[in-house]
Amino acid sequence: MVNNIEVSNHNFCQWLVHIKLRKIVLLVIIILVGVTFLTYMNLWYVEKDSGITHGAHSHLDLPDESIAFNNYGSHVKDLYRIKGSVSAELRDMEFKRQKLQLEIQSYTKNIDQLKAEMVHQQTELNRLKISVEQAQVAQREALQQNTPELALPHRLVPNNLPEINLPVPALKSTHCRMFSCFDHSRCSLTSGFPVYLYDPDQYPVMNEGWDVDGFLKTTLKQVLGYNPHLTGNPKEACVFLVLVGEALKDTDDVSENVGNHLNLPPLDSKALKRLPFWGGDGRNHVLLNLPRRDLSASAGDVFTSIDTGRAILVQSTFSHMLFRPGFDLIVSPVLGPPGGDVWQECSRMLPARRNYLLSFQGEMKVQPTMSLEKIRDAETSEKSIKYSDLDKFIVGHLKDMTKGTTSDKFYFEFECVPASDDNFHAGPQDWSLCGTDSSRRAFLKESTFTLIFGPGTSDLVSTTLLQARIYEALRSGAIPVILGGDQVRLAYDEVIQWRRVCIFLPRARVTELHFLLRTIPDTDILLMRRQGRLIWERYLGSVQSSLDTVVAVLRDRLNIPPLPADTVAATSVFNETFQPIQVIVGLDTEQDESLGPLEPPYDSPAFRRNYSLMLTQGHEIWNDWGDPFRLYPALPMDPLLSSDAKFDGSGRGFRPIGQGQGGAGKEFSESLGGNNPREQFTVVLLTYEREQVLLDSIARLRGLPYLNSVVVIWNSPKPPSAELRWPEIGAPLHIVKAARNSLNNRFLPLDNLQTEAILSVDDDAHLRHDEILFGFRVWREHRDRIVGFPGRYHAWDINTQNSWLYNSNYSCELSMVLTGAAFLHRHYFHLYWKWLPQAVRDKVDEYMNCEDIAMNFLVSHVTRQPPVKVTSRWTFRCPGCPQSLSEDDTHFQERHKCINFFSKVFGYMPLMNTQYRADSILFKTRIPHDKQKCFRFI
């Protein structure tokens, strides 16, 4: 019907113009004929009055010449007068004709504008109809919803001290498990796992002559202060931490004499029972024995023959008899710094195969700490003799490997040079380490694999020396090969998948060792090395990471979710009394197609998986992309429902296209579709003293479907002008004041970012609505990756052969999508500030550059996937905008340096190449006339 009306209006206009032109032409012809006729009649009357005829007259009949001349002169004047009158009339008619033509053009223009306005209003009407339908669906879903949306719960903590119970018998305590010896009533699901620390100076638990390492005491209290679970109120505590080790002999002569003379053990069991919250049996107490310097097996275990009741033991050395699986915890010695960035300690992961295929430095010794009687018993024991013979065979076979004809190189050192103070000591019939820390690190950095022997006696499940060797190997990037790995357990093995890091081999299979190592390809070597570095940096590299890991493992046992990740308060640049001026911007005539419904802001559901995340994806959280120390509102790796679930029992929130039947452009624009429920996105704009450019960019967002809000990060120390007229775009607008001018502020985890999808945009970028929405739809299918528009890549410098270059030329592959116009998940904002090494952000501030490169490094490192580029556009800068930072001559030189520095921090080049670009389905596709493409120009 609308099309018929439009055709009728068009025909009517053409007919009207045709009729007017005909009238004008006819009028001109009539005037010309009339003028000619009047002139002729006038001349005829003149001839008649003068007696002039056209017959044959004699010249005698002609009037006098003077009279004729005067008459003809007057007639000529009359003719000139008539001509002037006719010309004036013609000019007047031409003026009227031109005026009519201008009116016709004005009417035609108005008609075209009304047509465009009608199309635009029709598009808006269609969008409003879609919006109403979507709102009705949301209302029905809300009415049908039986369970509330989960959010952060209220904390439920106890309000009393532990009651005094009778001490448990020693036999019962040796069989303790979490269900039998732990008081779960103090650790509710919503408690947040509060932890109380006994001050080691106020509550000492060591015997006379022994003392806790001063460095450990100071460092432990310092780093635990950064742990969000620490509480100063013992009434609400879930667990109580007691620092036991590292136990060292007191240097005071009197104390040393007393302690050594009485042969007292390091730990005083009576002092434990005197702790004010011990409760008689030590339930919910955690005894921390964290070795740092003395790594011998004998000093690693201080709990032997000590009544520890129902307390959890945490140390590096355990025997099979003492260790209680699922209750006690094996940890790594704290050999690193207190905290901070530890990436400088790690070596690069490349090349995959290093100078030595396998290395070992150590010597088997029988420590004099054993009594002669025990040594004789060990020597006469048949089991001990066979064990010793096996060790001799292993050493002999390893020496034979170095004499073979293979091209592989080995470095084995079985006899140490005179011991230095830095040597690690072994336990009875165990292997010690040779050399200093620096010399061992040098060999490990040259080794693809390093050999680590299990404990010398079969009754040990773990030793401090073993854990220390694992620590050293992972720090240097040498893959541990544990000979005797079938008898040992490694630190935090209830949550860490050590088989992805180490090779476990029984002693009897030493003859297969060389063959096994040769079968491992470069890809798996780098995969294991990368995984080892991840484990070392996250859980072993510093005192703080070690202590945080102990707390996290205990909390994980109880299925208590972590505390929520910290956010940054979004402080407005305006004070509470100032109200910024908002104006309604003009209609955007560029958009003449319905791109989606107009909806009120809809925040992404947050914390839906508070209690199920660690149950279903616990291994990924601990070993892959997760962070077991914090709880995030949502993750880009959250699982998806199957396609039929949205139609069979789990359809709440989903908006399938054509209600599940699919469809072309019309149906496509009416519903969001995809594999995820409905959602919106937030636009984050970073700006610095380009007010008009910013306002124009904001104004272009008016009427954009699925827009939740716009957050402008005001990087300038100077506040915006009070006279600025901020565009009213139909969505909330937040102007956030940055603490300082930094490009890192682009990725601040602000507390007003209420959607998972974030569109990071420069203030001078110009994107059409259809491009933005297409990018949003593509991101919904690649939620863990950067999806955007300007593509770049890292190129190998063929001149130096040892560095990378940043390249923005046209290329058939890319490895980066710049965050000046890209979608990414809000989770990466948290990782950028909480996980990314501080050195990277410092380099961004130093150059005032490269924050987009840093984010690409981070996402590619976590996902091992390249970004996704959409559409074919390459430039997005608005014409006439003030100069940006990227136009500086040093811009590209700094980006070259950034890429090479970041690769050193990460230990390798995490960026991945891709030859893929996303364009819309049905783009450049011939479809029936009654169908629409998904996007007209994409």
779 in Cβ contact with 823 (< 8 Å): yes
Virtual CA dihedral for 834, 838, 843, 845, nearest 10 degrees? 60
d(CA 153, CA 216): 35
Give the three-class secondary structure for 292: coil
Between helix 214-224 and helix 543-557 the angle, nearest 10°, is 60
Nearest CA among 810, 859, 595 for reference residue 702: 595
Contacts of 326 (CB under 8 A, 6+ apart): 177, 178, 494, 557
Q: What would the DSSP string read from start to end of 211-270?
A: EE-HHHHHHHHHHHTT-TTB-S-GGG-SEEEEE---EEE-SSHHHHHHHHHHT--SB-HH
Within 781-886, where are the H helices? 827-834, 838-847, 851-863
Q: Which residues pair with 241 in a beta bridge?
A: 197, 286
- Report helix, strand or coil for 356: strand
Cα→Cα distances 577→573, 580, 828, 878, Å: 12, 10, 35, 35
Q: Which residue has the tokens 């070596």?
A: 347
Buried b (16+ CB within 10 A) or exposed e, 62-100: eeeeeeeeebeeeeeeeeeeeeeebeeeeeeeeeeeeee
C-beta separation of 938 from 771 below 8 A: yes
Round to whole Å and give the CA distance between 262 and 792: 72
Q: Are strands 681-687 and 757-762 parallel, antiparallel or unpaired?
A: parallel
Beta carbons within 8 Å of 600's beta carbon, 6+ residues apart: none
The three-state secondary structure class of 684 is strand
Coil/strand/helix, residue 392: helix
DSSP state of 521: -
Q: How far, in Å, CA of 631 to CA of 626, rounded?
A: 10
Residue 576, Cβ density class (10 Å: 0-12 exposed, 13-18 middle, ≥19 buried): exposed
Catalytic residue IDs: 852
Two tokens, residue 5:
């009306």
Residue type (1 letter), 276: P
Q: Is the peptide bond before 246 cis (omega within 30 degrees of 0)?
A: yes
Whole-number Å distance between alpha carbons of 442 and 413: 14
CA angle 13, 105, 90 (to 5 degrees): 100
| Euclidean distance between CA atoms 359 and 349, whole angstroms | 17
> How many angstroms separate the CA atoms of 553 and 548, rounded?
9
Q: Which residue has the tokens 């109200």?
A: 579
- In sequence order, what are the residues at sequence separation of 6 or more whose Cβ sits closer than 8 angstroms to the Cβ of residue 820? 760, 761, 762, 765, 790, 852, 876
> Considering only CA atoms, which of 908, 771, 791, 773 is closest in space to residue 852?
791
Q: Coil, strand, or helix at residue 194?
A: coil
Which burial class, exposed, middle or buried, applies to 195 when counting CB atoms under 10 A from its CB (0-12, 13-18, 19+)? Answer: buried
Please list the alpha-helical segments (H only) found in 634-788: 665-670, 691-699, 769-779
